[in-house]
Structure 1
Amino acid sequence: MDTSEIRRRFVAHFEAAGHTAVPSASVLASDPNLLFVPAGMVPFKPYFLGQETPPYERAVSIQKCVRTPDIEDVGKTTRHGTFFEMCGNFSFGDYFKERAIELAWDLVTKPQSDGGWGFPEDKLYPSVYVDDAEAVALWKKITGLPDERIARLGKTENYWSMGVPGPGGPCSEILIDRGPAYGADGDFSAEDRYLEFWNLVFMQDELSAVRSKEDFDIAGSLPKKNIDTGMGLERVAFMTQGVENMYEIDVMFPVIERAMELSGKKYGADHEDDVRFRVVADHVRSSMMLIGDGVTPGNEGRGYVLRRLLRRAVRSMRLLGYEDPALPELMPVSRDKMAETYSDLTRDWDRIARVAYGEEDTFRKTLQAGTQIFDLAASDVKAAGATTLAGEQAFALHDTYGFPIDLTLEMAAEQGLVVDEPGFRALMAEQRERAKADAKAKKGQHADTTVYRGILDANGPTEWLAYETLETESRPLALLSGGGATQALGEGEIGELVLDRTPFYAESGGQAADAGVIDFEGGRLEVLDVQRPIKGLVVHQVRVTEGELSADAKGLLAKVDPGWRIGARQAHSGTHVVHAALRQVLGPSALQSGSFNRPGYLRLDFGWTQALSPEQVREIEQVSQQALRSDLPVAWDYMTLEQARDWGAIALFGETYDNTKVRVVEIGGPWSRELCGGTHVEHSSQIGTIVVTGEASVGSGSRRIEAFTGVEGFDYLARERDVVGQLTTMLKTQPDDLVGRVADLVDRLKSVEKEVERARLTQLLAGGAAMVSTATDVNGISVVAQRVDGAAGGDVRTLALDVRSKLDRPGAVLIAGVKDGRVSLVGAVNDAARDRGVSANDLVRLVGSFVDGKGGGKADVAQGGGTDTGRLDEALAAVLAEVARVAGA
């Protein structure tokens, strides 16, 4: 069975059993503690935690997942991979252990001719948590297996928890026996022998005092017992396709085949090469899927992970002997296989390819620069008579310059050197431990939504009327302060207020929350912020500006600031217009990756690998203004996510959308169609104006456009007009001639600056001539060691070289420039003095030790600096003593 058929049968099996098919969420996790979705249950986490009410009792999904903690082990074993697909079926308080076991066993063992997977029952072994006698009894009852065929395992293997207080429960896994060639009989810890491919989590316990994932207290039973299962698609694929591991399945091995053609190497002939082939197959696919979901390469977070994956793939091809650009040859192969399921890969291919290939080009330049840095480090090692490159140097090459350790090892061997690998690995381990500590510190930072959950359960969802009105008569449902309920807030105090109905827009989709006031009998509140801490509940952060607010206050009137809302609508519709204009000018692959808008201002981030030209920015602004002038109609409608995509609506990367109903906003019909929950104008002309104020980089492969809209846009243009007016008055010219007039002034200024620089240099060199006459004879060597106040950097070097050129016998020069409290050092020694053993490098290092600095270079010219001027005279005297010591031998 090919992978797509395995996937199809899984979904069909559970749909037939009353499960709602839920499409994969983006691989970008909305959970602040996660970079990526690491398991199929993550999109359903709010339901398991009781933060949201599930819209269905049963669900089935095939979720895109990425796990990267073991990235260094990818390819070294056949179990580790970064991107994978997790098939899961879920029950939210509906069926429990018995039905979960029945459904899993039926699909796994049912003959392929009947729609199942056809695994032989005599090769299957269920495992259970050692204390879960109920599960043992159910497995026996449902499968008829004898007691000895059911493995009992401990907490590490068969108890599920998130590592924080909350739900948990025992697990049952389905293992397949691959035979004695993969390990000893009955050794269930040997994963290659008894391979786990399906995990059934029986979520039944409420965990407290969680000290680790295996050390916790069970406070009691959950009020609703849930089922969360995870089945590894790639594992089932390689077992049903008769191959050895996940890298050889139908959606991955074609990449290895192409890599073999390019490199001339053969998979299966050499273990080290096999590791590299697997890295290529895994990382090419993972990178493509990450870029498809909107990740761009960067130096931190998700972008850093993507950068590592891409560079490891390129590096592995280089180690296989292929040094030409590899991704344009490999990634289309992966696309053709994965697009059978994920059609958006084909639709977005231009963007995906541009990001991936651009990163490879950048890395190839990095390799070139890193090679030069390595060569310098290797030269220093050899010059010192050593044969080992320090672990610190290898780590700096890896961490600072992105230079892979494998290449460092390879190049060191070519030069007859070895690398201090233990030192390098220790530094890498320290880095990983710091990362783990940071991640652990973030654990438990889930906002405690218990109080909000209670409000929602008691009162139902907020009646949200932001699309319909700017005012509502409302009733208080809860008053909160410091994370808990309070009876009153006094004047000047800040708290949270939950109303039964509200006209206020809660911050979401890049749009800032509404501003306004809430009046009540005897007082007024200023609305500072509006949020949705859990789905369905709107919470207002308020400050009491008049009176005292009680939890049962009467006569509440919630009023959105009309001016604020108008500006917000203009900015949000303006964002859609700029996005459409951007795609019209640059092409459909220029997709928005993030946005923010508040009244009168918008910014839009989009994936692009190079700066826009002034002409492109101007054209984007012109297309936007034409859309406003055309008075395009703005409309919105509700439909399923699938219908919206078929309609051509654009979804923002990383956003989570309700598959049962989404809101599509269109401007000018198909010209701009986007999924959006924001507030908008009714016609594009109501935006007023769009003035682009800037375009800049916000990271590798990502750009940002900023603009003003409405009155703020006119104000910006008015300020520019005032500046132009002031300049034309000052320069006594007309606006049309202003640029030429300023350019003429700049040219004249540059000419004057050059004249001043020539005069300054002449004066400086004249001082150098005077220094020659003051040279001190030290054992037949003319030594000039002088302090020059007001000189720095290039001036000091110029002076030192000039003085050296004027010495007509063995000579050594050390100039110490002092400016702004810093010392600039340059040493220059002519050939005759070097023959006597005098070195500029030694002189600069000597003076550097006196001025709290350092430096170095070659024997003829060296330079450095320092920050302590107090011992400079002593240091210059030491120069004479050093020359006397060396030349007197």
Structure 2
Amino acid sequence: MKWTGLNELREKFLSFYVSKGHTRLPSAPLVPQDEASLLLINSGMAPLKKYFMGLAELPDGNHRATSCQKCIRTPDIENVGHTARHGTYFEMLGNFSFGDYFKEEATTWAWEFCTKVLELPVDRLYVSVFEDDDEAYEIWTKRRGVDPSHMVRMGREDNFWEIGSGPCGPCSEIYFDRGPDKGCGKPDCHVGCECDRFVEFWNLVFTQFNSDGEGHYTPLEHPNIDTGMGLERLACIMQGVDNLFEVDTVQNIMKHICAIAGVEYKKDPQKDISIRVVTDHIRSTTFMIGDGVVPQNEGRGYVLRRLLRRAARHGRLLGINEPFLYKVCETVIKENETAYPDLVQNKDYIIKVIKMEEERFAKTIDGGLAMVNATLDRLQAEGKDVFPGDEAFKLYDTYGFPIDLTREIAAERNVTVDEETFNACMKVQRETAREATRAALGDVAWTEDVLKGKEIHSTFVGYQTMETEATVEAILYSGELTDSVGEGDEATIILSQTPFYAESGGQVGDKGVITCGDTVFEVEDCKKTATGYFAHMGRVKHGVLSTGDTVKAEVNKDRRRAIMRNHSACHLLQSALQSVLGNHVHQAGSYVDDHTCRFDFSHFSAMTAEEIKLVERKVNEMILAAHNVTATEMPIEEARKLGAMALFGEKYGNIVRVVRMEDCSLEFCGGTHVDNTAKLGLFKILKESSVAAGIRRIEATTGWGVLDVLDQDEKLLSDASAAVKAGNHAELPERVTAMAAELKSREKALAAAEQKLASMKVNSLCSGAKEVGGFRVICANVDGTKPEALRTLCDTLRANHPDMIAILGTVCDGKGNVAVSCGADAVKAGVHAGKLVKAITAITGGGGGGRPDSAMGGVGDASKIPDAAAQMDSVILDMLKK
């Protein structure tokens, strides 16, 4: 048994099983790709369910695979750091058989890898089997050669894998004996003891039954093998260390944290807790962000935010009061770059996300911590041990301080949080928000309420046609059902079928007309109620419309086509953004009308001009390639197998609509689209901006909208050309350049003239100099002179006249300034320009100062300049006496 690094162990395992005919699979992203019920991948087999269930096959047709899967588990997050066992991020090694081999081969290879490849001593290996699995017991003892004294039979709780109804089966676990010195010392210490002596490191699940969930099991026709071995736990054994934090790659991360904090591990138990928390959480967050998770207030984004903020808080407990996690993540990337090169590719993005979240939390945590601790101090002074739920809610609602952080800090002082009251406050807030939403829905909620329980049918046919005949099923006017409405009445109409698209998925509702003979009802908007009624909202322009009328419903076709173009552009835009910026880009919202498409997406920095240009070009390339666009309804599982992108957080039914744009885009979407990308005409990005932290927005247009932009630009060019007297647009740059050159030339000429005037002014000023204490002093107003020119005058006098003291004032553009210069001889004698300026500006109510030879200041009251100047002779004489 030889010391082996974690990265080497990973490679040894995968290479071994490849040599046994297994397909080597890359780690799946932590964000589940085809498992809606799972927030984050938490086991090696989680991404492989489709293969175990026979819903898909490996690309190479193989029925055996091996992988090292990144995993996140957070149920015990509060224990992370407090023990050396708990962690949220780990890697799971595994080999899998999808109806191929079974117990014989699984045990053969597991034993070979342990004893031949890793060279673990056989006398320190133990194996457990399910108590009724005589077959496995016999295989281990008679064919693998395991001594019966090293075999343990265990019950269903320990050695039978089952989750409700479905495939299940017995397990075999392999243990390593770390030696008596690691044990509890009891005479009966054995496998299964709670102490640290016997470490279970490999679980082999023999999936051979199907359970009906009620205790009945039938053998599977094709049993499977699913094994899992924690990479970090195996590294602990191979490196002879006590826990995952002492494994080589993890330890290097911990050392970086200690270096930043200026602390040493295993010197202070409280600091050790914080070191372990930060070490574990920065591993988790680095990989999560690398796989496209962004900090948010719900779902997996909340898990990420919670881990980052918990780590940041423990950094402060270590004395680190500035963002630092983004630095540590560089070590995480370095330690994992061989197995996960995508971390290196996304390094800048990962660092940016972590740093921004740290900075954001820093604005919250100081105030929040102060309030939590103040409340805890008060409670303990009063002899109370329950943190009020309403105060915990105020911290959360007003200051953004997470309840779990309040809970953790309180627990450190043996105080519990009144979470019942907290949850009650949260419930009130949700109900208030729900009422606000209901108010915002307006007519939709009202329509739903009025029609509740009525036998009304409302079918959408707008994918196939933009006009159809229908029957008026119901009319709502002034909050009530009515039989008819007349000219000028605003109403909501429900039809038996409609071509009008109802506002949904970011696409606005259609406009158009409903006609019946001479009667015209103008539809201004269409919305869909929760139970599926299509509510046409508008006004009767002419005639009378009644329930039961047969009408023609016709969408404004030009407007709908413009909306379709912009909606299809959104799909192409997402594809182009992922291509240019990376796979972390995910839709965070959209709005599509007949003028623009607005697309919000996850990205943590402003796009460069080059990136915007490249994205725009890629979209136009897809448009000009004239890709066919198809929309198909299919079972959701089939759509996921095809790789269709779904909007995170959106609820989908069993049957979904999938829009495909050949090889460019494949998305779940209920909106309306063109049937060929060429119909978009052209695509133009109008604006890129920030919407929220980590969310960017692109506003763009297509078709006629692009022509409108070109027309506007043409007008701007024409106006600019006319203003500078350019004959045509092509001459505009040359004309502007010529005008700029001419302006610069005039500025030079003006400067030269001002310099000449300054020289003349110098001669004039010198002739008016008076003698003070043996030095020539000029004290004069040169109103209208700019401050820069004033300074130049002073510099000229100082350079040419060592015995000169110049005090010059000016009022220019309504502002007074004073400049003072002292020649070299005057400075040697003790005259100080800076002090002279201070004296003058103090008298005028201004301020200023400077060097002994040159100084400048602003005048408060310009009318007092002469008074100040009159006092300078005595000030100069005082300086000469000192």
Compute the TM-score of the two structures, normalised by the length of structure 1: 0.54
**What's 1:37 paired with?**
41
Return the offset for 1:336: 0.8
Choose from 367, 370, 387 the match for 2:368. Answer: 370
Q: Go from structure 1 to structure 2 and tell me whether the alpha carbon gap of 1:32 and 1:720 turns closer, same or farther (over 3 Å shift).
A: farther
1:61-72 matched pairs, under 5 angstroms: 61-72=67-78
**What's 1:5 paired with?**
8
Q: Is the 8 A contact 1:11 1:60 kept in 2?
A: yes
- Aligned-partner Cα distance in 1 for 2:406–2:352: 29
Q: Go from structure 1 to structure 2 and tell me whether the alpha carbon gap of 1:688 and 1:150 turns closer, same or farther (over 3 Å shift).
A: same
**What's 2:175 paired with?**
175
SS of the equivalent of 2:170 reads: strand
Return the offset for 1:608: 2.8
Q: State the Cα deviation string for residues 728-779 of structure 1 (Å, max 9, x = none).
A: xxxxxxxxxxxxxxxxxxxxxxxxxxxxxxxxxxxxxxxxxxxxxxxxxxxx
SS of the equivalent of 1:217 reads: coil
Q: Is the 8 A contact 1:628 1:684 kept in 2?
A: no
Q: Go from structure 1 to structure 2 and tell me whether the alpha carbon gap of 1:277 and 1:48 turns closer, same or farther (over 3 Å shift).
A: same
- Work out which of the two has the higher radius of gyration on C-alpha atoms and give 1 or 2: 2
Return the offset for 1:138: 0.8
**What's 1:126 paired with?**
127
Choose from 198, 212, 217 the match for 1:194. Answer: 198
**What's 1:249 paired with?**
247
Q: Go from structure 1 to structure 2 and tell me whether the alpha carbon gap of 1:367 and 1:120 turns closer, same or farther (over 3 Å shift).
A: same
- Aligned-partner Cα distance in 2 for 1:411–1:168: 41
SS of the equivalent of 2:275 reads: helix
SS of the equivalent of 2:164 reads: coil
**What's 2:153 paired with?**
152
Pair 1:73-2:68 in alignment: no
- Aligned-partner Cα distance in 2 for 1:409–1:426: 13
SS of the equivalent of 1:35 reads: coil
Q: Go from structure 1 to structure 2 and tell me whether the alpha carbon gap of 1:510 and 1:222 turns closer, same or farther (over 3 Å shift).
A: farther
- Aligned-partner Cα distance in 2 for 1:333–1:167: 41
SS of the equivalent of 2:216 reads: strand
Q: State the Cα deviation string for residues 330-356 of structure 1 (Å, max 9, x = none).
A: 111111111121111111111111111
Return the offset for 1:189: 3.7
Return the offset for 1:277: 1.2
Return the offset for 1:628: 3.6
Opposite residue 624 of structure 1, the aligned amino acid is: E
**What's 1:855 paired with?**
none
Q: Go from structure 1 to structure 2 and tell me whether the alpha carbon gap of 1:566 and 1:219 turns closer, same or farther (over 3 Å shift).
A: farther
1:790-805 matched pairs, under 5 angstroms: none
SS of the equivalent of 1:251 reads: helix
Q: Is the 8 A contact 2:619 2:683 kept in 1?
A: no
Pair 1:392-2:389 in alignment: yes
Pair 1:421-2:415 in alignment: yes
Opposite residue 98 of structure 1, the aligned amino acid is: E
- Aligned-partner Cα distance in 1 for 2:370–2:168: 53
**What's 1:48 paired with?**
52
**What's 1:166 paired with?**
166
Q: Is the 8 A contact 1:127 1:150 kept in 2?
A: yes
1:123-522 matched pairs, under 5 angstroms: 123-161=124-162, 163-180=163-180, 181-183=182-184, 184=186, 185-190=189-194, 192-209=196-213, 216-371=214-369, 373-374=371-372, 377=375, 390-392=387-389, 395-396=392-393, 399-400=396-397, 401=399, 403=401, 421-423=415-417
Opposite residue 396 of structure 1, the aligned amino acid is: F
Q: Go from structure 1 to structure 2 and tell me whether the alpha carbon gap of 1:26 and 1:6 turns closer, same or farther (over 3 Å shift).
A: same
Opposite residue 122 of structure 1, the aligned amino acid is: D
* Structure 1 vs Structure 2 CA RMSD: 5.0
- Aligned-partner Cα distance in 2 for 1:227–1:618: 50
Q: Percent identity?
A: 38
Q: Is the 8 A contact 1:574 1:687 kept in 2?
A: no
Q: State the Cα deviation string for residues 554-611 of structure 1 (Å, max 9, x = none).
A: xxxxxxx9x9999979855664457647987xx7798445688999886644323478
Q: Is the 8 A contact 2:253 2:331 kept in 1?
A: yes
- Aligned-partner Cα distance in 1 for 2:191–2:19: 37
Q: Is the 8 A contact 1:395 1:427 kept in 2?
A: no
- Aligned-partner Cα distance in 1 for 2:195–2:355: 37
- Aligned-partner Cα distance in 1 for 2:364–2:54: 48
- Aligned-partner Cα distance in 2 for 1:8–1:709: 50
**What's 2:602 paired with?**
607
Q: State the Cα deviation string for residues 140-199 of structure 1 (Å, max 9, x = none).
A: 1232123231111122211112x2321111111111111222334215142622211111
1:679-690 matched pairs, under 5 angstroms: 687-690=680-683
Q: Go from structure 1 to structure 2 and tell me whether the alpha carbon gap of 1:187 and 1:9 turns closer, same or farther (over 3 Å shift).
A: closer
Return the offset for 1:666: 12
Q: Go from structure 1 to structure 2 and tell me whether the alpha carbon gap of 1:40 and 1:566 turns closer, same or farther (over 3 Å shift).
A: farther
- Aligned-partner Cα distance in 1 for 2:190–2:413: 42
Q: State the Cα deviation string for residues 797-839 of structure 1 (Å, max 9, x = none).
A: xxxxxxxxxxxxxxxxxxxxxxxxxxxxxxxxxxxxxxxxxxx
SS of the equivalent of 2:218 reads: strand
Segments of 5+ residues of structure 2 without an aligned counterpart are 427-463, 465-494, 498-504, 508-556, 629-642, 649-659, 714-882
SS of the equivalent of 2:91 reads: strand
Pair 1:624-2:616 in alignment: yes
Q: Is the 8 A contact 1:170 1:201 kept in 2?
A: yes
- Aligned-partner Cα distance in 1 for 2:79–2:576: 43
1:799-818 matched pairs, under 5 angstroms: none
Return the offset for 1:242: 2.2
Q: Is the 8 A contact 1:46 1:52 kept in 2?
A: yes
Compute the TM-score of the two structures, normalised by the length of structure 2: 0.54
SS of the equivalent of 1:303 reads: helix
Segments of 5+ residues of structure 1 without an aligned counterpart are 111-115, 210-215, 433-469, 471-491, 495-508, 512-560, 637-649, 656-664, 668-672, 722-889
1:509-588 matched pairs, under 5 angstroms: 572=568, 575-577=571-573, 580=576
**What's 1:724 paired with?**
none
- Aligned-partner Cα distance in 1 for 2:149–2:621: 78
**What's 1:86 paired with?**
92
Q: Is the 8 A contact 1:335 1:345 kept in 2?
A: yes
- Aligned-partner Cα distance in 2 for 1:148–1:302: 46
- Aligned-partner Cα distance in 2 for 1:627–1:144: 64
